[in-house]
């Protein structure tokens, strides 16, 4: 299906990328419909928050049970709309969401409860302070097509359990999956206006971003993320931006080459390489590079490409031809600049319009687009390096900083190097799976975005902090109130010495002076 048919005449069209079958058509949400949805969410949110954390988590438990019961049907729907293998829909979408629900069910109330705050300042000891965590209000989620269930669902669960209302604008390619998420939440007992899904195109997303929402979570391209950040800045709208990555894989000479090569092949080709956490750059220490390349080529050649509904399929189609064309451009640029094509490198037209062979490139370098720009396709480019310092420099030589992996037989060595990698997460002897660890924060640095989702840090993004303090002695005037004079200035100097003078003798002298002033001058306050 040609990309322009995905949003024709005010509609978005859901298409199976493996077969070209039209799965559904949906009217694009208009600016008026976005405003109406926001108004409904605004009215519904206070009652949702007042429901209390325990009752909200009980509804999340209902959702978890329903999803577990319907896992097969939901996974098959994801596969039909995205093309990814059915088993990947189960592992990288369903399993992730079920575990995220588990995390919030077990931890949300503890993480969201009021927190007593001790005061170290002696002058403030008469106050009782606490930190309150209150919902942002209405949270908008603008979500991508590559993980159309796990990305918005994990974000929405965090926002909902914190007491927010949510409006989801899914990718125009994956409206059916978003509506399935809406149906599951409805059946679980989440009020209909508390979670709303609004299919649409770029105009729908723009209307949502420019509306009076209270927070925005956007996952997508750097260019769109920058435009959103600029628009949000005009009214200081808080945003979380997850803008992709060019994730490096660093293979050291002491790594298990058999394991590392399997990790590289899976990390590069899972979801046909259409993952922000996928292995997009692979650096291998020189003395093991040839062995590593040979192993990757051998294993890539065994992958079965086809319709994701076939349980024997390893790699499915790409989402649309436009994305496939980007992959072709990157591979051709690399070949023209001297890269060796070891396997793949071509369309598989006999399978359909959107299939591309798993591709391994050797002898790549940073002059090539495939090592600088996000490819988002089934390509594994491999470059050799000399010592650790060169490998680290290459890994950090990118505008992106989402994730990275280090492969070594020495865990301590891996952990030491991980501290020097410029990325939001670093895995040692694994790749990609950090997104599936519910306790781990997800997000990056540099052009990979700002903010975090998942875990306790993602949950904290869904609330506003409020500090509240009450007086233990409400009838006592404060010594620092008006009534300024020379003796007050001397008392203030003495009071500071009580707390911060280096000499114990001076602290004792200052304490006596402060007490004298307190007894004599306290009644002079206005």
Residues in a beta bridge with 449 = 242
Where on the phi/psi map is residue 81: left (φ > 0), alpha (ψ -120 to 50), or beta? alpha
> DSSP string covering 196-250, please?
EE----HHHHHHHHTSS-SEEEEES-HHHHHHHHHHHHTTT--EEEE-----EEE
User: How far, in Å, CA of 420 to CA of 396, rounded?
Assistant: 9
Say whether 242 is catalytic.
yes
Neighbour-count burial of 73, counting CB atoms closer than 10 A to its CB (0-12 exposed, 13-18 middle, 19+ buried): exposed
Say whether 276 is catalytic.
yes
User: How far, in Å, CA of 178 to CA of 189, rounded?
Assistant: 17
* Strands 400-401 and 239-242, bridge-based pairing: unpaired
User: How far, in Å, CA of 19 to CA of 354, rounded?
Assistant: 9
User: Which is catalytic among the residues 242, 373, 374, 461?
Assistant: 242
Q: Hey, what's the torsion of the CAs at 89, 179, 70, 166, to 10 degrees? A: 90
User: Which is catalytic among the residues 28, 53, 136, 276?
Assistant: 276
Query: Mind telling me the catalytic residues?
Result: 242, 276
């Amino acid at each position: 299906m040609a990309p322009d048919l995905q949003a024709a005449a005010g509609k978005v069209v859901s298409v199976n990328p493996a077969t070209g079958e039209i799965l559904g058509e949906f009217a694009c949400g208009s600016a008026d419909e976005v405003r109406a949805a926001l108004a409904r969410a605004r009215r519904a949110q206070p009652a949702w928050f007042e429901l209390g954390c325990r009752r909200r988590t009980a509804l999340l438990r209902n959702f978890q049970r329903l999803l577990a019961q319907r896992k097969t049907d939901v996974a098959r729907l994801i596969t039909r709309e995205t093309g990814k293998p059915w088993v990947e829909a189960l592992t990288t979408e369903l399993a992730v969401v079920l575990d995220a629900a588990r995390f919030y069910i077990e931890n949300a109330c503890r993480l969201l409860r009021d927190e007593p705050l001790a005061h170290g300042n002696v002058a403030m000891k008469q106050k009782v302070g606490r930190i309150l965590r209150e919902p942002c209000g209405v949270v908008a989620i603008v979500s991508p097509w590559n993980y159309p269930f796990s990305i918005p669902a994990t974000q929405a669960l965090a926002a909902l359990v914190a007491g927010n209302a949510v409006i989801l604008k899914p990718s125009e390619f994956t409206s059916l999956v978003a509506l399935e998420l809406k149906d599951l939440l409805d059946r679980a007992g989440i009020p209909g206006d508390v979670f709303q899904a609004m299919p649409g195109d770029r105009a729908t997303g723009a209307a949502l971003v420019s509306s009076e929402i209270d927070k925005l979570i956007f996952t997508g391209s750097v260019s769109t993320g920058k435009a959103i950040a600029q628009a949000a800045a005009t009214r200081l709208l808080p945003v979380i931006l997850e803008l992709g990555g060019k994730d490096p894989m660093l293979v050291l000479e002491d790594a298990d080459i058999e394991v590392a090569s399997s990790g590289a092949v899976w990390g590069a080709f899972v979801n046909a390489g259409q993952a922000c956490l996928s292995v997009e750059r692979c650096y291998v220490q020189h003395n093991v590079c040839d062995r590593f390349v040979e192993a990757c080529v051998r294993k890539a050649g065994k992958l079965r490409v086809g319709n994701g509904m076939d349980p024997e399929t390893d790699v499915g189609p790409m989402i649309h031809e436009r994305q496939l064309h980007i992959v072709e451009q990157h591979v051709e640029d690399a070949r023209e600049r001297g890269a060796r094509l070891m396997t793949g490198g071509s369309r598989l037209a006999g399978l359909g319009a959107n299939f591309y062979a798993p591709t391994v490139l050797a002898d790549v370098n940073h002059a090539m687009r495939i090592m600088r720009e996000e490819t988002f396709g089934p390509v594994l480019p491999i470059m050799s390096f000399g010592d650790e310092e060169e490998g680290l420099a290459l890994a950090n030589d990118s505008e992106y900083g989402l994730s990275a992996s280090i492969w070594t037989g020495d865990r301590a060595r891996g952990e030491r190097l991980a501290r020097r990698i410029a990325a939001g997460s670093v895995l040692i002897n694994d790749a990609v799976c950090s997104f599936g660890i519910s306790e781990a924060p997800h997000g990056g640095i540099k052009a990979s975005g700002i903010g975090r989702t998942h875990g306790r840090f993602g949950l904290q993004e869904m609330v506003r902090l409020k500090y509240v303090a009450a007086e233990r002695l409400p009838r006592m005037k404060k010594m620092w109130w008006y009534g300024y004079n020379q003796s007050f200035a001397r008392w203030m100097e003495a009071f500071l010495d009580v707390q911060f003078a280096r000499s114990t003798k001076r602290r004792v002298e200052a304490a006596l002076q402060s007490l004298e002033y307190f007894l004599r001058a306290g009644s002079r306050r206005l």
